[in-house]
A and B are shown apart, each in its own frame.
Chain A
Amino acid sequence: MNISTSPWVWIAALLTLMIYSFLYKENPFYRLAEHIFMGLSIGYAVVIIWYNYVLVRVYKPLFFPPHQWSLIFPILLGTMIFGIFSKKYTWLIKYPFAFYIAGYAGISIPVTLQAFVLKQVEASFLTPEKFSSIPGSINSILIFVGLITTLIFFYFSTKREHGFGTAAKVGIVFIMVAFGASFGYTVMARISLLIGRMQFLIQDWLGIM
Chain B
Amino acid sequence: MFFLLIFSFSISAKDTPNDAGGSITVSTYNIPHYTERIELYRKVKGDTLYKEAGLISLYKGEFDDTLAVAGESYLYRARAITKDTVYIAMTEEFVSSSPQWFNKSRTAVLLFIVIFGSFVFVFIQLAKKNPEGLFIRRLPAIDAIDEAVGRSTEMGKPVLFIPGIEYITDAGTLASITILQRVGKKVAEYGTRIIHANFDPVVMTAAQETLKTAYAEAGRPDAFNKDDVFYLTSEQFGFAAGVDGIMERERPGAIFLQGYFYAESLILAETGYSIGAIQIAGTNATTQLPFFVAACDYVLMGEEMFAASAYISREPRLLGSIKGSDLTKSILLGLIGIGVTFGTVASLLKQAGNPAYMEIFNKVLDFLAMGAR
Contact = CB atoms under 8 A, between A and B. Distances in A.
Q: Tell whether A and B belong to one assembly.
A: yes
Interface of A: 19, 22, 25-26, 30-31, 33-34, 37-38, 40-42, 44-45, 81, 84, 90, 93, 97, 100-101, 104-105, 108-110, 113-115, 117-119, 121-122, 124-129, 144, 147-148, 151-152, 154-160, 175-176, 179-180, 182-183, 186, 190
B113 A45 contact: no
- Chain B at the A interface: SS class: helix
A160 B293 contact: no
B89 to A, nearest CB: 36
B195 to A, nearest CB: 16
From A41, A119, A126, residue with most partner B Cβ within 10 Å? A41
B206 A97 contact: yes
B322 A156 contact: yes
A30 B247 CA distance: 13
Interface of B: 106, 108-109, 112-113, 134-137, 168-169, 174, 202, 205-206, 208-209, 232-235, 237-239, 241-242, 244-245, 248-249, 266, 287, 289-291, 293-294, 301-304, 307, 322-323, 326-327, 329-330, 332-333, 335-336, 339-340, 343-344, 347-348, 361, 365, 368-369, 371-373
A32 to B, nearest CB: 11
Given A45-B235, A124-B339, A183-B290, 14 more contacts: A26-B248, A31-B245, A34-B242, A37-B237, A37-B241, A100-B168, A105-B169, A110-B113, A113-B113, A118-B369, A118-B371, A127-B347, A151-B329, A155-B326
A97 B333 contact: no
B235 A121 contact: no
A89 to B, nearest CB: 13
A175 B339 contact: no
A81 to B, nearest CB: 7
Contacts of B205: 81, 84, 93
Given A34-B241, A110-B113, A121 B169 contact: no
A182 B287 contact: yes
Contacts of A22: 244, 248
A104 B137 contact: no
B340 A126 contact: yes
Nearest to B135: A157
Q: Which 8 A-B pairs have the closest CB atoms?
A: A41-B235, A26-B248, A104-B169, A119-B372, A179-B290, A41-B238, A183-B290, A125-B339
Contacts of A155: 326, 329-330
A156 B340 contact: no
B333 A154 contact: no
B290 A34 contact: no
Nearest to B302: A154
B113 A109 contact: yes
A100 B203 CA distance: 12
B241 A81 contact: no
A124 B237 CA distance: 38
A101 B347 CA distance: 46
A118 B368 contact: yes
B347 A156 contact: no
Contacts of A156: 136-137, 303-304, 307, 322, 326
A174 to B, nearest CB: 13
B372 A114 contact: yes
Contacts of A93: 205, 209
Contacts of A90: 209
A146 B108 CA distance: 25
Contact of B372 (A25, A40, A115, A186): A115
12 contacts: A37-B237, A38-B232, A38-B235, A41-B233, A100-B169, A105-B169, A121-B336, A125-B343, A126-B343, A151-B329, A159-B137, A190-B266
A111 to B, nearest CB: 9
Contacts of A115: 372
B88 to A, nearest CB: 41
Contacts of B109: 110, 113-114, 118
Contacts of A157: 134-137, 322-323, 326-327
Contacts of A159: 135, 137
A44 B332 contact: no
A6 B5 CA distance: 72
A159 B135 CA distance: 9
A26 B245 CA distance: 7
Given A118-B368, A159-B137, A26 B249 contact: yes
A143 to B, nearest CB: 11
Contacts of B372: 114-115, 118-119, 122
Contacts of A128: 343-344, 347-348
Nearest to B116: A113
Contacts of B361: 125, 127
A146 B339 CA distance: 16
Nearest to B366: A122
Nearest to A83: B205
A115 to B, nearest CB: 7
A22 B237 CA distance: 14
Nearest to B236: A41
Nearest to A181: B290
Contacts of B239: 38
A124 to B, nearest CB: 5
A41 B231 CA distance: 13
A110 B209 CA distance: 30
